[in-house]
Structure 1
Amino acid sequence: MSFREEVLWLQARHEDASGKLMDAASPLAKQTLCRYQYYLQVKKEVLDGRLHCAVEQGIRLAGLAVQADFGDFTQFMSQEFLREYVLFPVNWPNGEEVLEEWTQKVAEEHKSHCRMQAAEAELLYIKEVEKLDGFGQESFAAKDNYTNDIFIGVSFIGVFVKHRNGRSIMLHKWKDIGTIAHNKSAITVEITSRDDTIIFHMEDMEMAKYIARLFTARHKFYKQNKICAEPTHSPAPIRRRPTWTHRLSLSRPQSCNFQSMHSQYSEHYQDTQSSQ
């Protein structure tokens, strides 16, 4: 099971803001906790450098993460605390001058999200990450029904087809896909949105069987868990804990998993978080 499946399958009970335990059987509790855990994991993937993003994308993501985890900038005397934490992927340049420039841009991005609720910022972060090139993709060499060499694969969004040079040909979203099957070395994918079936030819029967099972499992997973990527009208409260890494404690490119805030702000932060 991939890391995305692991975090989305978290069905354990979780404390709410009042200290009581939410019932994991509650659809609303599942949705809220599921999305929060998913947000934490994709954020870690970005900061660990496993998901590539341009500078503009990274700054936008950092601004959303700060809003989600710290709340409104108006809670603090200044945004100086942002300089103390790892806001960007570990494989980005780490010169003081460039970090200062980027941090200033994150501060402006953070200000633009004032009054945005944590759950909304988390959802927007997830949606931004899902746009990143290569997010959640696994691809395999195949041939189409005209014997053209292609790559087929799955992502969070659906089944994609690419030329061998990497150029995208087609994306079939999970919501438009019906039955997925295999026959000998061929895989068939039913496209319900246009009453059609597409055929892919693999190297051998075992590969076709494996990929058909993979596609089917991802399709089933999408149908069972798509609620986790959708907003709620009245999200169940959950206890969000600080998860930032202090810059001085991180030797790049060591993997980062956010820790506590700088002591200057920790008491204020804990008070504001407990009131959410």
Structure 2
Amino acid sequence: WLKYNRKITAQDVGKQYPLQFKFCVKYYPEEVENELVQEVTQRLFYLQVRNDILDGSIYCPPESSVLLASYACQCKYGDFREELIDDPNNFINTDNLLPERVIEQHEISKAKWIETIVKMYKNHKDMLREEAIVEYLKLAQDLEMFGVNYFNIKNKKGSELLLGVDALGLSIYKQDNKLTPTIGFPWSEIKNVSYSNKKFTIKSSDKNSSNFVFFTDHSRINKTILHMSMGNHDLYLKRRKPDTIEMQQMKAQAEEERKTKQNYKDKITRERLAKEEIERKLADMELRLKESNEVNEGTQRQLEEYERKIRELEELLEQSNRQKRELEEMHARLAENKRALEHAKANADEDRERLLKENEQIQLQISKKNIEVEHGSEELRQRQEELERLRAEREELEAKASMLEEAAKAKEKSKEEDVTLGSMEFVDDRREESRQTNISSNIELQNQLKSLAQDLNEKRVVNKMEGIDHIHNENQRLGLDKFKTLRQIRQGNTKKRVDRFEAL
């Protein structure tokens, strides 16, 4: 780490030019949501943590990697939109969202990874980008390697171990396991830290406990450990004291900005919901209009059919009238023949016989015609009744069609309207031991991750898994997480834990 009060060239920065620097966080927070007040701080810290997860500096299991990737999408793009995946040059198609280790260990295509991430991404609808950053960091801070600086050390027996320095205290790890510490010392138990060459000494606030001593390969490592310890311990104390006036003002300002953004978000959400409701109503109106048009078309077809039947009935009526006229003409001829017969009684018998015969034929034709007329009259009566019924139905259909047309016009109208060496201050506040992970309090999210883990395990290539993956799986089987492990490794008094360290 560079010292701000010294020239860069006077520090151990190497001789290669141009010089490259990394802007990184040295001391990690305990609780991101309460400590990172300003949005610019949150975003810069998010970028570092995200990079540490992607390059494997912080171990993250596959299912959690997918969940964090979905929040990363919300941070970068806002709410999900279909066009984000339609363009092959956009979105996840070009973004690095998952650790390479996770991708290599699963026989899953890139398209399937995208589909899995998008499924969770869609659940973050209406979440502000700043909120997504905080949610990402809240999940990341529950990862076991979050904010831990590891150093190779040896105890008095010469056993090679790892020392972890973080915001909560000092932890001892086995060389092959950076996930699960075996012994822990909270900052509240540490009274003084010092080093001499390769030897590092920690004095406990417990008078019955001997000093906690370990060794490193170089004094520079001890110097770094000292600085990290002093800085983390100082912040540990500050978090357990009332906020300064300056911090209170910063938090008040941040809260005001948060409320302003929340109000804006609520307004946008209301407008979006109102727009969706209008679009839904318009779609419903269009559907009803389409249905009414279909009904109108059916009604028109019925009307045309009725018109055809009416024309047929009118033709039949005309035919019946014509038959009546013919019958009347026959009756007239019969009467005339009768008169002629009476007049010709005196005529010759053959004329009389001829007239009688002709009269019989006419009488026979009249009888046949009467029968036809009677049948025609009955059929005509039935057809007239049917005609009256059809006319009534036509009038009813025309009235219904008129009503549908008026309703369609009304719908169309409504559519348009819309460091320094020194002693450390003692503080007896170990609130971190009562904490739980964010996921443990969210049953729905637990179920989602459990289901996703099962799906991913089916596609996982076991011989590509690393030792840290097996350690994580075993911790899960035992029901352990970061804070449950923390409570376990701090059990017993300080003396017992120091003795355990010496025995390793």
Tell me the TM-score normalized by structure 2: 0.35
Aligned residue number for residue 151 of structure 2: 139
Q: How does 1:64-143 map to 2 (within 5 A)?
A: 64-73=71-80, 76-77=81-82, 80=85, 82-86=91-95, 87-90=97-100, 92-93=102-103, 98-135=109-146, 136-143=148-155
Q: Is 2:165 the partner of 1:154?
A: yes
Helix, strand or coil: the match of 2:255? coil
Residue deviations 1:105-146 (CA, integer Å, cap 9, x gap): 1111112222333223212212333344534422221327x9
Helix, strand or coil: the match of 1:200? strand
Residue type at the aligned position of 1:234 = E
Aligned residue number for residue 212 of structure 2: 199
Aligned partner of 2:228 among 214, 220, 223: 214
Aligned partner of 1:234 among 243, 255, 279: 255
Helix, strand or coil: the match of 1:141? strand
RMSD over aligned CA atoms reads 4.5
Residue type at the aligned position of 2:66 = I
Aligned residue number for residue 63 of structure 1: 70
Percent identical among aligned pairs is 19
Aligned residue number for residue 188 of structure 1: 202
Aligned-residue offset at 1:200: 2.5
Aligned residues: 214
Structure 1 gaps, min length 5: 9-27, 238-276
Residue type at the aligned position of 1:199 = F
* Native 8 Å contact 1:67 1:110 kept in 2: yes
Largest Rg, 1 or 2: 2
Residue deviations 1:75-121 (CA, integer Å, cap 9, x gap): x2455254433222355548995221111111111122223332232
User: In the superposition, relative to structure 1, how do residues 157 and 120 fare at CA in structure 2: closer, same or farther (>3 Å)?
Assistant: farther
User: In the superposition, relative to structure 1, how do residues 4 and 130 fare at CA in structure 2: closer, same or farther (>3 Å)?
Assistant: farther
* Native 8 Å contact 2:54 2:98 kept in 1: yes
User: In the superposition, relative to structure 1, how do residues 125 and 29 fare at CA in structure 2: closer, same or farther (>3 Å)?
Assistant: closer
User: In the superposition, relative to structure 1, how do residues 91 and 101 fare at CA in structure 2: closer, same or farther (>3 Å)?
Assistant: same
* Native 8 Å contact 2:152 2:160 kept in 1: no
Aligned-residue offset at 1:152: 1.8
Aligned residue number for residue 25 of structure 2: 5
Aligned residue number for residue 41 of structure 1: 48
Query: Could you say which structure has the higher helix fraction?
Result: 2
CA distance in 1, matches of 2:100, 2:153: 32
Tell me the TM-score normalized by structure 1: 0.58
* Native 8 Å contact 2:71 2:133 kept in 1: yes
Query: Could you say which structure has the higher strand fraction?
Result: 1
Residue type at the aligned position of 1:137 = N
CA distance in 2, matches of 1:223, 1:120: 28
CA distance in 2, matches of 1:196, 1:79: 60
Aligned residue number for residue 264 of structure 1: none
Q: Is 2:183 the partner of 1:170?
A: yes
Helix, strand or coil: the match of 2:184? strand
* Native 8 Å contact 1:63 1:106 kept in 2: yes
